[in-house]
Chain A
Amino acid sequence: ESLSTPSNTPETTRGMVQDPTQFDVLVMPNLYGDILSDLCAGLIGGLGVTPSGNIGANGVAIFESVHGTAPDIAGLDLANPTALLLSGVMMLRHMGLHDHAHKIQKACFDTIREKKVLTKDLGGNSKCSEFTADICRRVQDLD
Chain B
Amino acid sequence: MAGTAWRSAVSRVLGSFKNGSPQPRNFIREMQTVTLIPGDGIGPEISNAVMKIFEAANAPIEWEERNVTAIKGPGGKWMIPPDAKESMDRNKIGLKGPLKTPIAAGHPSMNLLLRKTFDLYANVRPCVSIEGYKTPYTDVNLVTIRENTEGEYSGIEHLIVDGVVQSIKLITEQASERIAEYAFEYARNNQRASVTAVHKANIMRMSDGLFLRKCREAAEKHKDVKFTEMYLDTVCLNMVQDPTQFDVLVMPNLYGDILSDLCAGLIGGLGVTPSGNIGANGVAIFESVHGTAPDIAGKDFANPTALLLSAVMMLRHMGLHSHGKKIETACFDTIRDKKVLTKDLGGNSKCSEFTEAICQKVRDMD
Contact = CB atoms under 8 A, between A and B. Distances in A.
Are these two chains actual partners, yes or no?
yes
Q: Is the interface of A mostly helix, strand, loop or mixed?
A: helix
A14 B261 contact: yes
A38 B261 contact: no
Nearest to B303: A1
A31 to B, nearest CB: 8
Contacts, number: 74
Nearest to B256: A10
B257 interface: yes
B233 A38 contact: yes
B9 interface: no
B258 A10 contact: yes
A72 interface: no
Interface in B246-277: 254, 257-262, 264-266, 268-271
B134 to A, nearest CB: 12
Contact of B238 (A11, A37, A42): A42
Interface string A13-55: 1111110000000000001001111110111011100000000
Nearest to A43: B240
Nearest to B293: A1
B137 interface: yes
A36 to B, nearest CB: 8
A35 B236 contact: yes
Interface residues of A, number: 23
Given A10-B258, A10-B260, A17 B270 contact: no
Most chain B C-beta atoms within 10 Å of own C-beta, residue among A13, A15, A31, A41 = A13
B210 interface: no
A125 interface: no
A38 B291 contact: no
Most chain A C-beta atoms within 10 Å of own C-beta, residue among B200, B241, B293 = B241
B80 interface: no
Given A1-B344, A14-B261, A18-B135, A38 B269 contact: no
B104 to A, nearest CB: 21
A129 interface: no
B26 interface: no
B43 to A, nearest CB: 15
Contacts of A15: 265
B297 interface: no
Given A38-B234, A39-B236, A1 B269 contact: yes
B265 A39 contact: no
Contacts of B293: 1
A35 B232 contact: yes
B265 A47 contact: no
A13 B243 CA distance: 14
A106 to B, nearest CB: 26
A129 B267 CA distance: 41
Given A1-B344, A35-B232, A47-B237, A10 B257 contact: yes
Most chain B C-beta atoms within 10 Å of own C-beta, residue among A34, A36, A47 = A34
A47 B291 CA distance: 35
Given A37-B233, A46-B241, 11 more contacts: A1-B293, A10-B257, A15-B265, A16-B262, A31-B200, A35-B232, A38-B233, A39-B236, A42-B237, A42-B238, A42-B241
Interface of A: 1, 9-11, 13-18, 31, 34-39, 41-43, 45-47
Interface of B: 135-137, 200, 232-234, 236-241, 254, 257-262, 264-266, 268-271, 290-291, 293, 344
